[in-house]
Structure 1
Amino acid sequence: MTVWDRPEPPHRPVPLDRERIVAAAVALADEGGLTAVSVRKVAARLDAGPMRLYGFISTKDELFDLMVDAVYAEILPEERAGDWREALRVLAHRTRQAALRHPWLADLLGGRPALGPNGLAVAEATLAALDGLADVDTVMRAVETVSSYFTGAVRREIADLRAERATGLSKPEWQREHGPHLTRMLATGRYPALAKAVHDGTHVDAEESFATGLDWVLDAVAVRLARPPGS
């Protein structure tokens, strides 16, 4: 029986329910990452004994599943998108925004499907926006392609933010500190393509880079969706 199917135990002194447990776990993860989450620490935050929590969850993985589903409630679109492209764009941007609020989410994206009610609602809204545009396999590959893009982009951005916190250096500060080494290496002439990118490339921030890459992926998906079946 999954955590979604298991009934909650009756209330006892220090009333508990899954919603309170998950809220406490999310708060701990927001403060210190997934390593800060344990049954003992969640119980302490709720002024309850650890064994009380095992009436609601059996493993830490179940707790993570519940936490992810709570964040999927933030990702779920507030209204139906006008078309498939807008639906996928909204999904991507809302996932990124949720990960920026809850950086630990990046560690749990891209694995097995989210089976909680909010995760299933997000999947339903996304697939419904593409229903009838192509055969079901093409629709599934389209969604997977866009999801792979934004999952990778979000993980990269969160990794950069974690590095900033760990080193105490912002990205521009890190670049200035390592600039002399890179300049010397590029001056050897062994990396002409990289030198051109460094010297001539336009700097864009993370949000603009994310949006541009997403549009390119959506353009490619549009081409595939427009092809006749079987081509």
Structure 2
Amino acid sequence: MVEIATQAGAVARSRAPLSRERVLGAAVALADEGGVEALSMRRIAQTLGVVPMALYKHVANKNELLDGLIDVLVGEIDPPDRDVDWRTAVRRRVLSARRMLLRHPWAAQVIESRIKARTTPTPAVMEYLDSMIGIFRAGGFSIDLVHHAMHVMGSRLLGFSQELFEEAPDGEPEPDAVRPEEMAARYPHLTELAMAVTHDRDSVVGSGCDDQAEFEFALDLTLDGLDRLRDSA
């Protein structure tokens, strides 16, 4: 019975018209299950019940597939709220972007790699950034201050940030690593910080510091500073 049901499902999928949206939706589901490394045209085709060549009518290659995934993911971010002040609107939208990344842990890697590889962001990212600039401008920011705001917000606008002090992966110690007993003498301030911080291995984004709290702390600090600059201008 299970085999019959599986075959019936494959037949139903094959009868549904293939589209770019279906290809990208299947790709997102596969990446959610096994990471972006699990993506291949063959696996996507198997999921959709079609031959791999049929996919190339909708995505020309792997890079176009990844760009399409980014647009799907950015489409999950809440639209801007027009009924609140600029600070609340920016904060809500950035945290919505972060929730999207938490649903798709592989997404930040893809977004970062493709933004670096492309001369311009994908259309959905361009539209998202344009709308964020619009929120700042409607909030009274000069175009020069918006320029600085976009730089200081950086990848945080899309829900993630590049951390300087990421937890080191397990493995062999590096040859130039300082022995623990030497740390306090050579790097007293780093040692004090390391001993003082609280680590939460049950964090929603993995072991280490409470990344969500740190993200919101930095976001609020940035927005507070931008607000003061806006007022002084």
Q: TM-score, normalised by structure 2?
A: 0.71
Change beyond 3 A, Cα 1:129–1:217: same
User: How does 1:86-105 map onto structure 2 within 5 Å?
Assistant: 86-105=88-107
CA deviation vs aligned residue, 1:182-223 (integer Å, no higher than 9, x gap): 743435x22211122123345562211111111111122223
User: How does 1:140-159 map onto structure 2 within 5 Å?
Assistant: 140-149=147-156, 153-154=160-161, 156=163
Structure 2, unpaired ranges of 5+? 1-13, 171-177, 200-208
Q: Percent identity?
A: 33
The 1-side partners of 2:104 and 2:162 are apart by 12
Change beyond 3 A, Cα 1:114–1:87: farther
Residue 98 of structure 2: SS of its match in structure 1? helix
Residue 75 of structure 1: SS of its match in structure 2? coil
What amino acid is the match of 1:86?
Answer: T
What amino acid is the match of 1:223?
Answer: R
Match of 2:85 among 76, 83, 86: 83
Q: CA deviation at 1:80?
A: 2.8
Q: CA deviation at 1:147?
A: 3.0
Q: Which residue pairs with 2:122 in the alignment? A: 114
Q: CA deviation at 1:81?
A: 5.4
Q: Which residue pairs with 1:127 in the alignment? A: 133
Structure 1, unpaired ranges of 5+? 1-11, 168-180
What amino acid is the match of 2:192?
Answer: K
The 2-side partners of 1:182 and 1:206 are apart by 27
Change beyond 3 A, Cα 1:156–1:95: farther
User: How does 1:197-212 map onto structure 2 within 5 Å?
Assistant: 197-201=193-197, 205-212=210-217
What amino acid is the match of 2:193?
Answer: A
Query: How many residues are paired up?
Result: 197
Q: Which residue pairs with 2:145 in the alignment? A: 138
Paired residues of 2:108 and 2:160 also in contact (CA < 8 A): no
Match of 2:33 among 24, 31, 34: 31
Q: CA deviation at 1:153?
A: 4.4
The 2-side partners of 1:155 and 1:33 are apart by 20
The 2-side partners of 1:81 and 1:88 are apart by 12
Change beyond 3 A, Cα 1:142–1:154: closer
Q: CA deviation at 1:120?
A: 4.7
What amino acid is the match of 2:220?
Answer: D
Paired residues of 1:138 and 1:225 also in contact (CA < 8 A): yes
